[in-house]
A and B are shown apart, each in its own frame.
Chain A
């Protein structure tokens, strides 16, 4: 993937430097404000993190561990963590025995979210394409951010995480990898299935969904939150995915295009049980002070998803697109 066009002073300065060689002087950029939906902050952070995944074409691989870049990333993360703390209340005084109930209360709201219902019953093919483009940012690296936790765990939670991840990665069969199934969905909808193809089209509110996973994944101190984040994804997956699959069928999509969603109905019904019980439950029992972090991580996942869905539905209700406009060719 190539670096996308910059979206403000931060990404302008950063992308300009990434085009050259690492080393030399500090990457000075004033990270002052910028909330969870700030285009410039979220894209800058996303680019810093992407150096740890597939990187960017034409960007020197040594940037990944360049002290100046890491300095900038730390600034961005401080700002991101602060925004998260302001948006998501931290659960207090949680005991491991109360974990399951706390996660269930978060993940099963009284009211069903609007977006899956809309996609099932009313969305046009164009809406669906937009939805899939937003999701491509994460689904094309599906499971990768949570894999960072594997070497940080031991015993039952480690085995549980590997059990989930191995299913995500297709159980040894590349064509069953969830990211591969998603590529088939993109192709079926006439979209570009290459990694990061739509990075330039998604707003900050979408990037924040991926950024929080990388934040929790790349910092060992956030490992509790990372596990909670994964549990929240798994716990809120089966039912919406059933709706997405039904929506795609209504629009005439074939089995290969729908398979990603069909697969997630069943897979995540399994993963949910493992994530709540063997992963988060066993981790909390072994490290009781991290119980609150687990729930916080789950709450962060759900809050960012809620904000993103609100953005998308809000735009659609006004008859407007939820993606950024295509850049005008120079």
Chain B
């Protein structure tokens, strides 16, 4: 089985990244994730972007895990 990268949108929270991913800056430099599974902020409020720092909770960020139906 080929290992793939998976991205899981968490309900009211971040995107979880698993697998052999690499994080790169726009100029192509590697960002050291420091762990095998990372949470990327999707509420925009984290103080340690691109990672989630839990700020989505105090902000009351809402999002489903499933894709939103077209409006």
Question: What class of interface size applies to chain B in its complex with A?
Answer: 20 to 34
* Interface class of chain B by DSSP: loop
Q: Quick one: which of A8-35 are within 8 Å of B by CB?
A: none
Chain A interface residue bracket vs B: 20 to 34
- Report whether B37 and A265 are in contact in the complex, using a CB–CB cutoff of 8 Å: no
**Nearest CB on B from A307, distance (A):** 23
In the assembled complex, which residues on chain B have CB atoms less than 8 Å from the CB atom of A166?
36
Question: Is the pair A268, B54 in contact by a Cβ cutoff of 8 Å?
Answer: yes
Asked whether A239 and B35 contact (CB < 8 A) given A265-B48, A269-B14, A269-B52, the answer is no
Interface of chain B residues 9 through 64 with chain A (CB within 8 A)? 10-11, 13-14, 16, 34-39, 47-48, 51-55, 57-58
With A239-B54, A265-B53 given, is the CB distance from A100 to B36 under 8 Å? no
On whether the beta carbons of B53 and A167 are closer than 8 Å, the reply is: no
- Which chain B positions have C-beta within 8 A of A167? 35-37
Q: Which residue on A lies nearest to B41, using beta carbons?
A: A269
Interface contact B39-A270, CB-CB below 8 Å = yes
Known: A163-B37, A171-B36, A266-B34. A273 touches B10 (CB 8 A): yes
Mask: chain A, 260-279; 1 = CB below 8 Å from B; 0 = not? 00010111111011100100
Q: A238-B54, A239-B54, A239-B57 are in contact. Are A270 and B35 (CB under 8 A)?
A: yes
Judge whether A108 is part of the interface by a CB distance below 8 angstroms: yes
Is there contact, CB below 8 Å, between B35 and A269? no
A97 to chain B minimum Cβ distance, whole angstroms, is 13
Contact with B along A214-252 (1 / 0, CB 8 A): 000000000000000000000001110010000000000
Task: Give the contacts of A268-307 with B (CB-CB under 8 A).
Answer: 268-270, 272-274, 277
Q: Residues of B at under 8 Å CB distance from A?
A: 10-11, 13-14, 16, 34-39, 47-48, 51-55, 57-58
14 new A-B contacts, CB < 8 A, other than A171-B35, A171-B36, A277-B10, are A108-B57, A167-B36, A238-B52, A242-B47, A242-B54, A266-B34, A266-B39, A266-B51, A268-B54, A269-B14, A269-B51, A269-B53, A270-B16, A273-B13
Interface residues of A (CB under 8 A from B): 100, 108, 163, 166-167, 171, 176, 237-239, 242, 263, 265-270, 272-274, 277
